[in-house]
Amino acid sequence: MASLKQLVTSLKYPSFGSVMVGRSYAGGTYRYGFNGKEKNNEISVEGGSYDFGARIYEGRLGRWWSTDSKYSKFPSLSPFNFGANNPIYLIDPDGKDIYPYHIKGTSVSNGAAIYDAGKVSANTESVILDLLKTPDGFAFFSQFAKKDQTIGEYTFMEDGIHSDHDLYLYDYSFENYDLNKVNPDNAALATSYNDKKGNLKFVLPIYSKGQSTLDIATFFVHEIGLHGYKTALYTNAFSKLGKKGYENTANDQRKNNYLGEQDHLDLKNKNEKSTAYKNYVSLRDQLIKVSEKYAQAFNILIPSKKLEPIKRPEDKNNSDNTANYQSWRNRTETNSNKKETTR
């Protein structure tokens, strides 16, 4: 005889997320609620406040307990507001500027994505942590990070130079999509202007389903190493002329290097005069120094003599982190006069 499944939790909320009295049930030790965040019942009533990672949220008031670090950009809103006071339409996943999403599947009923916000798959996280041990990889990710943001086991110790712009990492580890229909090679770094936030949005989709850490590493080295200089190109144009500067630069790139064709040609021909190719080789070699296992991903033979380990600036010295980023940026900006395209 089949046994009945036990109801663990059933929670109903008004729009700002406080638990509705008399219409909710939470049994056992289940700790999560509104937006999938952990309840903070020790300092509030049941389901009254939630830990979003960056800040504590009070659902009864629809307010954060601490101010938004970017409140100066939104003078018409309270620095304690949640979702611009429109939680039906807008969300604030964690108050950060790098947004990882681990997309695990789709709903059978409506096709909506099933995902974990703030996370990536285990294989992707492993590669990202190794990339953060390289100067070039660290420079790329840290430019968007906010102080105290954590990716995997790594915590950034200062705001990135472009933390006012956003980097979205969409990790598709779908268990129910057809690999014949979704080609991991189609994933590419893309850029757009975000009208709602008035900043640039960089999107890096990773199709990790069926991919090894070596496969994922080649993807990151290709997108960050070969094409990553475009983040410097677009943020530089945006800082000078705002949205118009970004759009003019993006249009120029589309005309002269559609889908990064020139970058790919430089990689194929090993053009040592190309900044894109030099950045690619630099990140590739740095990653191999972190772990020799990555050599086979790029068909490189490791000599019997061990490679000298590379060093990334210690996080406790913020000036070193800034200098490390500036070194990478200076190298990438030498390509600013070269015509490229958004991807």
Q: How confident is the model over 158-173, as pLDDT tens digits?
A: 888 888 899 988 888 8
Q: How confident is the model over 13-38, as pLDDT tens digits?
A: 676 777 777 766 666 566 777 766 77
Q: How confident is the model over 40-70, as pLDDT tens digits?
A: 766 666 667 777 766 777 877 777 777 766 6
3-class DSSP string for 313-327: CCCCCHHHHHHHHHH
Q: How confident is the model over 210-240, as pLDDT tens digits?
A: 889 999 999 999 999 999 988 999 999 999 9
| pLDDT at residue number 172 | 83
Tokens (6 digits) for 337 = 């006069």
Packed helices 122-131 and 135-142: angle between N→C axes, nearest 10 degrees: 110
Mean pLDDT score, 105-128: 74
What pTM does this model have?
A: 0.62
> Predicted confidence band at 258 (pLDDT cuts at 50, 70, 90)?
confident
Report CA-CA distances (Å) from 134 to 217, 291, 296, 310, 334.
Answer: 13, 11, 18, 7, 21
pLDDT at 125 over 70: yes
| pLDDT at residue number 329 | 62
Three-state secondary structure call for residue 216: helix
| pLDDT at residue number 279 | 94
pLDDT at 336 over 60: no
| pLDDT at residue number 318 | 46
Distance CA(325)–CA(114), nearest Å, equals: 35
CB count, 10 Å around CB of 197? Answer: 15
Mean pLDDT of the chain: 76
Percent helix / strand / coil, the chain, rounded to 5: 35, 15, 45
Distance CA(336)–CA(343), nearest Å, equals: 16
Please answer whether residues 168 and 202 qualify as being in contact, where contact means their C-beta atoms are separated by less than 8 angstroms. Answer: yes
> Predicted confidence band at 269 (pLDDT cuts at 50, 70, 90)?
very high
Please answer whether residues 132 and 124 qualify as being in contact, where contact means their C-beta atoms are separated by less than 8 angstroms. Answer: no
Please answer whether residues 142 and 156 qualify as being in contact, where contact means their C-beta atoms are separated by less than 8 angstroms. Answer: yes
